[in-house]
Structure 1
Amino acid sequence: MSENTPPEPSPQPDYAQSAVTPMLESEARTWSMLVHIIAVAALILSGGTLGFVAPLVLWLIYRERSALVDFHGKQNLNLQLTLLVTGIAAVILGTLLFVVGLAVTLPLWFAYCVYALVISIIAGIKANSGEYYPITFTIRFLR
């Protein structure tokens, strides 16, 4: 190399074209199940307010690697967000209708919490067997 020739730049990786590696079927089943089961634990530990955080994180990480994880992540996020919205609505409506309203809305919301717990466990079992199990009685925030 002469003094006037600049050194060649080192090749840099092209991050824009990095391909997403698909998951193995067994990994997809495990992560799909964990989306539901961790949501149940978060739901219990947070009293129904932060149950959406764990499924959101798992879904954002693994949604492009597996269609099964993408499906179950969306299903559980819809369930958790519906639970959060109905809880907020129950408190607001109950407050507007005074004590009598809370006596009606909070038990209804508690019943939906029990439904969310049970259906998440069922969906986790179905996800572990590789089934695309749709969760009913939710608002479709994510399609």
Structure 2
Amino acid sequence: MTTPPPVPPAATPMSPSDEKLWATLIHLGGLFFGFLAPLIGYLVLKDRGPFIRAHTATALNFQLTLIIAYFAGIILTFFFIGLLVILAAYVLNIVFCIIAAVKANRGEWYTYPMSIPMVR
């Protein structure tokens, strides 16, 4: 007779200050590492509280939307407008990630404009 495998413990909720810190770092991570930081943050922290789940999901959605914009810009480069699309996506990434990080640090909820909601 074998014993069943142990049940993993439920994720312990984070304190509000920890949630704000990690949400801020996730948004800034999206600025420097693209979709990888929000993806890892979402997978690891999504069950630790509603605030961190919302911020990681919105950061991941925005970074995935930017990947689509960059891909469209690469395709449109053949029509001489693609460089403008890539530049606009790059600037929007910088501006909106900083705004989101400031909002998260203040404990405010934030949704990126022009973001396609793929992850909830």
Give me the TM-score of the superposition, normalised by structure 2. Answer: 0.89
Q: Deviations over 1:56-84 (max 9, x none)?
A: 00111111001111111111111111111
> Does structure 1 residue 54 correspond to structure 2 residue 37?
yes
> Does structure 1 residue 106 correspond to structure 2 residue 83?
yes
Task: Pick the aligned partner of 1:22 from 10, 13, 30.
Answer: 13
Aligned equivalents of 2:104, 2:112: Cα separation in 1: 12
> Does structure 1 residue 125 correspond to structure 2 residue 102?
yes
Give me the TM-score of the superposition, normalised by structure 1. Answer: 0.76
Task: Pick the aligned partner of 2:63 from 70, 80, 86.
Answer: 80
> Does structure 1 residue 34 correspond to structure 2 residue 25?
yes
Between the aligned residues of both structures, percent identity stands at 34
Q: Deviations over 1:31-88 (max 9, x none)?
A: 000000111122xxxxxxxx00111001111110011111111111111111111111
Aligned equivalents of 2:69, 2:88: Cα separation in 1: 11
- Name the aligned partner's letter for residue 118 of structure 2: F
Structure with greater Cα Rg: 1
Task: Pick the aligned partner of 1:93 from 76, 83, 89.
Answer: 76
Aligned equivalents of 1:53, 1:27: Cα separation in 2: 20
Alignment length, in residue pairs? 119
Unaligned 5+ runs, structure 2: none
- Name the aligned partner's letter for residue 7 of structure 2: Y
Partner SS, residue 139 of structure 1: coil
Unaligned 5+ runs, structure 1: 1-8, 43-50, 96-100
- Name the aligned partner's letter for residue 57 of structure 1: I
Match in the other structure for 1:46: none
C-alpha deviation, 1:120, in angstroms: 0.6
Q: Deviations over 1:67-124 (max 9, x none)?
A: 11111111111111111111112212333xxxxx1x2122122112101111111100
Aligned equivalents of 2:4, 2:61: Cα separation in 1: 40
C-alpha deviation, 1:13, in angstroms: 7.1
Runs of 4+ with >3 A deviation: none
Contact 2:70 2:89 in 1 (8 A): no
